[in-house]
Structure 1
Amino acid sequence: MDWKLEGSAWKTESHVPLGQEGLLEDAGEDGVSESFQLLQIDVECESRESGSLPTGSATWCSKNVQRKQKHWEKIVAAKKSKRKQEKERRKANRAENPVLGICPQHSKRFLKALTRERLLEAKHTGPRLCIDLSMTDHMSKKELSRLAGQIRRLYGSNKKADKPFWICLAGFSRDSPLYEECLRMNDGFSSYVLDITEEDCFSLFPLKTLVYLTPDSEHALEDVDVNKIYILGGLVDESIQKKVTFQKAREHSVQTARLPIQEYMIRRQNGRNYHSEILALNQVFDILSTYFETRNWPEALKKGVSSGKGYVLQNSVD
């Protein structure tokens, strides 16, 4: 296209193909549209003649592309089906196991508020559990991580319980490595509905109301009393030293008790000849919580004592 200056205005000269000058002279808008349609027809004709552009999508895509497309469609369909099945399963579980008569159609916000209300009510009417975290100063990073995970699982079990405990984390400083580990590993830890205090558990409550649960005690726990505060030592398997919690309880003249594993379970022969009554925090809590709801020690012990500990119920069949 050539640009020419005539007077003070710019004019353009367009080079129009021969045979189409008349189309552009008198056409106006309709004529321009018709001319472009003719150009498009010319291009399509040339494409068909040259054979450079396939006409069908089937011939355009190679067999390899088609195979990948079908494979991807199968994956998408399988994921949709799996999501649908999972949704139906959760719906069926909510219908079979309603929490205090709650209907499945309630929103998550409503269920969360109701759970919080139940936990707060346990502070005044439910049994109380205190976790002694005053012995974590010399724990390794790995041990702190395991302890933080046990606290998370314990709290999760308590939220689901029909009769929740009120939980207190005693001897727990907010600037301690364990607190930082709990924040890192446990989503929403800062919003947990429980008490956190730096005070020692022996100074928080009257000593006569305390029962320190330790596997070294000579007395088996017979019942869970709402008027008692049960203490669990915040230790993990790797850091446990013999009778640490038992000696600490005796120094403060506090009553001790152990889970009645020996009374309801027997040792099972295994290749390692391994038998242990030392359980994680969340395992001990599962036993206490189940017993408080069912008043059945065999059922409660079955819930918390795994087969790896080398114990089975007396009436169990191999």
Structure 2
Amino acid sequence: MTSIAKQIERSYSATRASAKASRLVAYGIQPASRMVDALDTHSVHWRQWQMDVVETPLLEHFPEGQRDALVYLSADSDTTITQLEPGKIYIVGAIVDRNRHKGLCQRIATEHGIPTAKLPIGEHLHMLSRKVLTTNHGDGWR
């Protein structure tokens, strides 16, 4: 939970500082949960952020017939995008998709009929391992 809380904080900070701000929405954050405890501990002012916090999990918020605008970003996708499309909702999973969870975000999206795409990381960054970004990689992109 601590890792996810820090990822949300970094994402919010980068979005606020960006010239082209995106709307951040965090789904599935229940009151009195371990996630709220982690945010309260590591990001004490998170309740004042200009970010939507939705208690309903993402897949319940967008039932099967309403998922046309969704695109799950996954390093394991076969589709590479070079620009974001207006009207699309890009999902950044808050699951630390490392070796022990390799392919988890891709699998979840596929199981629920949500298209996936990956960013062209290898074309812009030299990385020795899997082409997976963390929120730390975004520091200084403003």
User: Would you call these one fold, judging by a TM-score over 0.5?
Assistant: yes
What is the match of residue 23 of structure 2? 166
TM superposition shift of 1:200: 2.1
Aligned to 1:277: 131
Contact 1:221 / 1:257 at 8 angstroms: preserved in 2?
A: yes
Structure 1 segment 151-300 matched on structure 2, within 5 A = 151-205=8-62, 206-236=66-96, 240-262=100-122, 264-265=123-124, 274-281=128-135, 283=137, 286=138
Q: What TM-score, normalized by structure 2, do the two folds share? A: 0.84
Q: Which residue of 2 aligns with 1:149?
A: 6
Q: Greater helix share, 1 or 2?
A: 1
Instruction: Give SS of 1:193's match.
Output: coil
The answer on whether the counterparts of 2:97 and 2:105 sit within 8 Å (CA) in structure 1 is: no
Any gaps of 5 or more consecutive residues in structure 1? 1-143, 269-273, 288-301, 305-318
* CA radius of gyration, larger in: 1
Q: Residues 179 and 222 from structure 1, CA distance in 2 versus in 1: closer, same or farther, beyond 3 angstroms?
A: same
**Following superposition, which runs of at least 4 residues in structure 1 exceed 2 angstroms of deviation?**
202-206, 236-240, 265-268
Q: Deviations over 1:182-235 (max 9, x none)?
A: 111113111111111121213324211000000010000121122000001112
Tell me the number of residue pairs that the alignment of Structure 1 and Structure 2 aligns.
139
CA distance in 1, matches of 2:39, 2:99: 18
- CA distance in 1 between counterparts of 2:17 and 2:126 reads 31
Bigger relative contact order (CA 8 A; separation at least 6): 2
SS in 2 for 1:275: coil
Note the C-alpha offset of 1:247: 0.8
Distance 1:218 1:177, change over 3 A: same
Counterpart residue identity of residue 276, structure 1 = R
User: Identity, % of aligned pairs?
Assistant: 25
The answer on whether the counterparts of 2:97 and 2:103 sit within 8 Å (CA) in structure 1 is no
Amino acid at match of 1:189: W
Note closer, same or farther for the CA distance 1:191–1:200 as it changes in structure 2 (3 Å cut). same
Matches of residues 105-144 of structure 1 in structure 2 within 5 Å?
A: 144=1
Q: What stretches of structure 2 of length at least 5 have no aligned partner?
A: none
The CA RMSD over aligned residues, in Å, is: 2.5
Offset at residue 181 of structure 1 (A): 0.8
- Give the TM-score of the pair, scaled to structure 1: 0.40
